Amino acid sequence: MNNPDERITRTLLCAGVCLVWYTLTLVVSVLPDLTALRQNGMLVPVLCGLEFAVLVPLYFWTSRRYPLIPQSKLNLRQLLIFIALLLMLILSQSFYLSHESWTGSQLGDGHRRVVIFALAVVLLAPVFEEMVFRGFLLQGLLLWAPQQRLVCALIASLIFAACHMQYTHPQTLIALTALSLLLCYARLVSNGLKLPILLHMLNNLIGVSPWLWIAATR
């Protein structure tokens, strides 16, 4: 991109969308009934629903005016390869990850709450998180360093991990950074967000499957 003004405009747009996402997280944190939402296991679903409702239309609105992120088509061979890579990554994490209590603390009691939580983190969160982190954030970095893809992916991944402040163990931050690097690679290889969104959904589904299994067998 040779036009400096256009590059700055697009960079500000990417930064603006990321700021909108962060603002939404702050809005939920100051709700008067925050404690009740957490106790009922509805905090995460409410937050995910709000972010999805705002960020997905914003992504499509900006994409029509500033085609920053290509609209890719899914390739079956790429999908199968990256699923295998994701499963190997998850398997490797089993050797060093420490137990995190955050997910269990958000579920509340009852099968319905577990299902609602799972739907939020499997179907909603991966969509807007990929749009923000592997979409606008990564693309904003690539605008200034298009030849430094690894560096841009690493910076985006470290920010992605740091934004998951609900986790306490350093090993979890390492795992999140590794996951994000894989998703960044999927985004660059496939030239779009569909592949990393599907991989993110699969990762989260595997993560919540123990709670779904417990809820189903009670």
Q: What is the mean pLDDT of each run of 10 residues along the chain (218 residues)?
A: 80 94 88 81 91 96 84 90 97 87 73 90 97 96 95 97 87 95 97 96 94 82
Contact 195, 82 (CB under 8 A): yes
Spans of all domains in the chain:
4-217
Q: What is the pLDDT of residue 90?
A: 95
Q: What is the pLDDT of residue 1?
A: 57
The token duo for 85 is 């890579």
Contact partners, residue 78, CB within 8 Å, separation at least 6: 186, 189, 190, 195
Taking only the tens place, the pLDDT of each residue in 179-195 is 999 999 999 999 999 99
The token duo for 61 is 């609105």
Return the axis-axis angle of helices 194-217 and 76-93, rounded to nearest 10°.
50
User: How many Å from the N-terminal Cα to the C-terminal Cα in the chain?
Assistant: 57
The CA-based diameter of the chain, rounded to the nearest angstrom, is 61
What does the alpha-carbon distance between residue 186 and residue 218 come to, in Å, rounded to a whole number?
38
Q: What is the pLDDT of residue 73?
A: 85
Q: What is the pLDDT of residue 108?
A: 61
List the Cα angle 184/185/190 in 5-degree steps. 100
Q: What is the pLDDT of residue 36?
A: 83
Q: What is the pLDDT of residue 2?
A: 62
pTM over 0.85: yes
Q: What is the pLDDT of residue 176?
A: 96
Neighbour count for residue 108 (Cβ, 10 Å) = 17
Q: What is the pLDDT of residue 109?
A: 65
